[in-house]
Amino acid sequence: MQQAFKAHMPNRATGLRRAGCKRPTLFTCRAAPAVASSISADAAVSWATSKGAKLERASLSTDLLTDRPVLIASADAQQGDVLFSVPDSAWLSAETVKKTTVGKLAAAAGLEPWLQIALQLLADRFGSSSSSKSELSPYAANIPNNLDTPILWSDDELRELQGTQVLQTLGSYQTFFRATFQQLQSGLFAENPATFPPDTFTLPHFLWAVAAVRSRSHTPLDGSKIALAPLTELVSHRRSANSKLAVRSAGLFGRGQVLLLEATRSIRKGEQLSTDYGQGKLDGPVLLDYGVMDATSPKPGYSLALTMPDSDRFIDDKLDILESNGLRQSMTYNLTPDEQPTTEMLAFMRLMELKGMDAFLLESIFRNDVWGFMQDPVSEANEEALCTTLSEGARTVLAGYTTSIDEDLAALRAGTHPKGSRREAALLVRLGEKEALDAVARFFEDRRATQLKRLVYYQERRLRRLGLVDDEGRTTYDSFFKDGIA
């Protein structure tokens, strides 16, 4: 069951954080992986406005901590006010890409929208032939070569992620991207060498384009509707964001679209504009996709992937129960240092560990109620099994990191990782994963050691509902066997 703690791609608990190991106060807030300088930022803004973008209540400035170009409020704004707008004519999307030779060939080859955009971005940035470029090539020209996403980190920087889920997922990404590039080389590129010259369409250029697409695509312009829109890269990532991106219909009969940055609360003039790049996501996935970290309001944690094993003799019954309750055979739950495991996660684990004498609950007579039964402890043996699985699994994963929690905290206090640097972001993600694992291990170790005898299990709950056991756990039916009553 330790495999449950391998990477996929709440009530507040007390005492879950490791005693004496609180994080030091941090004041760094990474801006978006923005343009490389104020000069190129000015050029990016000028180009965007020439394509119809409007800075309604926003202006260009510089983040004093990171020295990066950012957007600030040019006037006081209230919730719902539009801060800037970008029409779809300025988006780099699958639709705009189809107007170019690169885009037509990519679409004809059946490539996914994100890959079509990546190839066009590559051609716009590194291509020498004007025929292969799009009318949006100035947008690509303002994207820096050295993006902050870990896809482009050096080996020394990646060592800071040793043992983390981020590094494991990154390895899967890199394998996939390299395999994709090889397929393109032997297929689309080889068949159209004039459009995809080998000295331009190289692996480093391809990885840069992929990183640019991943780090500059934001909800709601993602998934099947993926598009890159200028100005969004100048909005900082913060968990306590003051704005959000939204798409609205525009133009004659609403046939066009416009991307808006809207205030989600009152904003004072001069305040830096920000949005949450990864709502509901932990710091690790946000760092991996966007290369950003909000150290002022971290969201540390570990993503636990749980899978009902096919080898379970009751697998068909369990899958039927999961499906009827909107769950899948594999589910992922975020573990955090300061929150208890969710009720759903505990229920999933109880069902996973359901066996032996407890398996009677899988009978068809209980089918509509069994998931409800899993919301509370089933039996002492079942609860002990899930406690053991989760605590030992967490300890095993913790042993795989090259540093301890105390060592990471000491590094933060010593300031060996510069504020706002990639190394600091990696350290914070690494520490966050370990704190979450340590918290869950301690939670279930304590539950197994001190609480199993105190919990109320299914059989006792059942007897209480029938009035055969009182609140003190004493039977109420002894009198039935006296004086010949029974």
How would you label 10-39 residue by residue, b for 16+ Cβ within 10 Å and e otherwise? Answer: eeebeebbbeebebeebebbbbbbbbbeee
Contact predicate 295/29, CB 8 Å: yes
Alpha carbon distance 425, 167 (integer Å): 13
Which of these, 122, 158, 81, 91, lies nearest to 425 by C-alpha position? 158
Alpha carbon distance 287, 56 (integer Å): 30
Give the per-residue pLDDT at 40: 80
**The domains spanning 2-26+298-455 and 38-286 adopt the same CATH topology:** no
| HEC string for the chain | CHHHHCCCCCCECCCCCCCCCCCCCCCCCCCCCCCCCHHHHHHHHHHHHHCCCECCCEEEEECCCCCCEEEEECCCECCCCEEEEEEHHHCEEHHHHCCCHHHHHHHHCCCCHHHHHHHHHHHHHHCCCHHHCCCCHHHHHCCCCCCCCHHHCCHHHHHHHCCCHHHHHHHHHHHHHHHHHHHHHHHHHHHCCCCCCCCCCCHHHHHHHHHHHHHHCCCCCCHHHCEECCCHHHCEECCCCCEEEEEEEECHHHCEEEEEEEECCCECCCCECEECCCCCCCHHHHHHHHCCCCCCCCCCCEEEEEECCCCCCCHHHHHHHHHHCCCCCEEEEEECCCECCCHHHHHHHHHHCCCHHHHHHHCHHHCCCHHHHCCCCCCHHHHHHHHHHHHHHHHHHHCCCCCCHHHHHHHHHHCCCCCCCHHHHHHHHHHHHHHHHHHHHHHHHHHHHHHCCCCCCHHHHHHHHCCCECCCCCECCHHHHCCCCC
Give the per-residue pLDDT at 14: 29
Cβ-Cβ contacts under 8 Å for 46 (sequence gap 6 or more)? none
Tell me the whole-structure pTM to 2 decimals. 0.85
Torsion from C-alpha of 160, 164, 169, 170, nearest 10 degrees: 0
The arrangement of secondary structure in 2-26+298-455, i.e. its CATH architecture, is Alpha-Beta Complex (3.90)
Domain 38-286: state its class.
alpha beta
Give the per-residue pLDDT at 479: 52
The first and second tokens of residue 175, run together, are 């394998």
How would you label 161-176 residue by residue, b for 16+ Cβ within 10 Å and e otherwise? Answer: bebbbbbebbeebeee
Alpha carbon distance 440, 18 (integer Å): 11
Alpha carbon distance 149, 161 (integer Å): 13
The first and second tokens of residue 104, run together, are 């037509």
Contact predicate 167/154, CB 8 Å: no
What does each of the 486 residues of the chain score in pLDDT, given as a tens digit?
A: 444 554 332 332 323 333 334 443 333 334 344 344 566 888 889 999 999 999 999 999 998 877 889 999 999 999 999 999 999 999 999 999 999 999 999 999 999 999 999 999 999 999 887 777 888 899 998 898 889 999 999 999 999 999 999 999 999 999 999 999 999 999 999 999 999 999 999 999 999 999 999 999 999 999 999 999 999 999 999 999 999 999 999 877 668 999 999 999 999 999 999 999 999 999 999 999 999 999 889 999 999 999 999 999 999 999 999 999 999 999 999 999 999 999 999 999 999 999 999 999 999 999 899 999 999 999 999 999 999 999 999 999 999 999 999 999 999 999 888 888 899 999 999 999 999 999 999 999 999 999 999 999 998 888 767 665 555 556 555 554 454 444
Return the domain boundaries, the chain. Answer: 2-26+298-455, 38-286
Give the per-residue pLDDT at 485: 43
Give the per-residue pLDDT at 459: 87
Angle at 300 between CA 70 and CA 17, to 5 degrees: 140
- Other Cβ atoms within 10 Å of 203 Cβ, number: 12
Alpha carbon distance 116, 37 (integer Å): 28
